[in-house]
Amino acid sequence: MSDFDEKRYRTEDHAGTFPQLKPGPERSSAQIDADHEVLMRDGYVIIEGLLSREQCETIKAEGLQLLNKTGRNPFEGHKTQRVYYVLSKTRITDDLATHPRILGLLDKLFMPGYLLSQSQIINIQPGEAPQALHFDDSFYRLPRPRQALGAATVWAIDDFTADNGATVVIPESQRWDDERTGLRNEAVPAVMPAGSVVFFLGTTWHGGGENTDRAARFGITHQYCEAYVRQQENYLLELSKDRVRATSPELQSLVGYNIYPPFMGMVNGMHPLRLLN
């Protein structure tokens, strides 16, 4: 009989030189446990006070310079400015993508080695109509109800109000089957002061809100996914090696410089981080 243990081989981290990053103590706390409980109950959780007003002002000042075109269709929003390719253009969102309160939640949701799926700056301008309600991991075409294969954050860099386009979410919709479609009167606005974040599951129905205010609403979103499904953004083509070298080990792992055991992510049978050295 062979002494080959298939399950261990499939699940263990075999990398010697670049073992999988271990979460630090800041990624497990009573607060994160409490956030997780709300998230699993309601499908979303609002976490306030993660960024100071000054941090928001700095992020916004740089982010505003990147804003340009408005959306190409109603889903993007004809009065909404979106910055794609964010990690190549600016470093202002890096610390949001890897914030310990967010990674701590993701550690509880996904297998180690989970990935960043996409990043955007979203500036909803006055007069914008409500975005069509949707759930983010719908392109993983597996029947619902099911576990979320993705999750998202929307960071409020301005105050998010019921009038200025705060993200709207439908509580408990993460449990719905494929027959049910989100209705606008079921959605509640994620009202929160600047510096807060709404975190929701990839299965939770939500959308960008209508902006009837006089000012725009500046937000930053990151989406994440399990390591074994495809990312929306092709970071390995988008980001130069120099760009990746300049980021934190956590962000390097999130964009795809990691191994999901035993092999996913390999280059020439080895760990992709070897390419950066």
Ligand X SMILES: O=C(O)CCC(=O)C(=O)O
CB of 144 to ligand X, least distance (A): 18
Q: Starting at the edge strand that comes first in sequence, how are the strands of the sheet with 197-201 ordered?
A: 44-47, 197-201, 150-156, 217-225, 115-124, 80-83
Residue 88 Cβ vs ligand X, minimum distance, rounded to whole Å: 19
Smallest separation (angstroms) from ligand X to the CB of 75: 7
Q: Using CB under 6 A, which of the segments 20-28, 97-105, 174-182, 202-210 binds ligand X?
A: 202-210
Nearer to ligand X, 154 or 255 (CB): 154
207 touches ligand X by CB under 6 A: yes
Between 139 and 228, CB nearer to ligand X: 139
Q: How far is the CB of 180 from ligand X (least distance, A)?
A: 18
Q: How far apart are CA 159 and CA 190, in angstroms?
A: 10
The nearest distance, CB 208 to ligand X, in angstroms, is 4
For the CB of residue 206, give the shortest distance to ligand X in the complex, in Å.
Answer: 6
Residue 253 backbone phi and psi in degrees, to 5: -65, -45
Among 27, 206, 222, 271, binds ligand X (CB under 6 A): 206
- The verdict on 154 binding ligand X (CB under 6 A) reads yes
**211 lines the binding site for ligand X (CB under 6 A):** no
122 binds ligand X (CB under 6 A): yes
Q: With contact defined as beta carbons under 8 Å apart, do 276 and 240 qualify?
A: no
Q: Rule CB under 6 A: is residue 219 a binding residue for ligand X?
A: yes
Neighbours of 145 (CB within 10 A): 11
Q: Which is nearer to ligand X, 60 or 206 (CB)?
A: 206
Give the interface segment with ligand X, choosing from 93-101, 180-188, 205-213, 237-245 (CB under 6 A).
205-213
The footprint of ligand X on this chain (CB under 6 A) covers a number of residues equal to 8
Q: Which of residues 32-91 bind ligand X (CB under 6 A)?
A: none
Nearer to ligand X, 82 or 99 (CB): 82
Q: Which residues contact 37 (CB under 8 A, 6 or more apart)?
A: none
Residues that bind ligand X (CB under 6 A): 122, 131, 154, 167, 206-208, 219
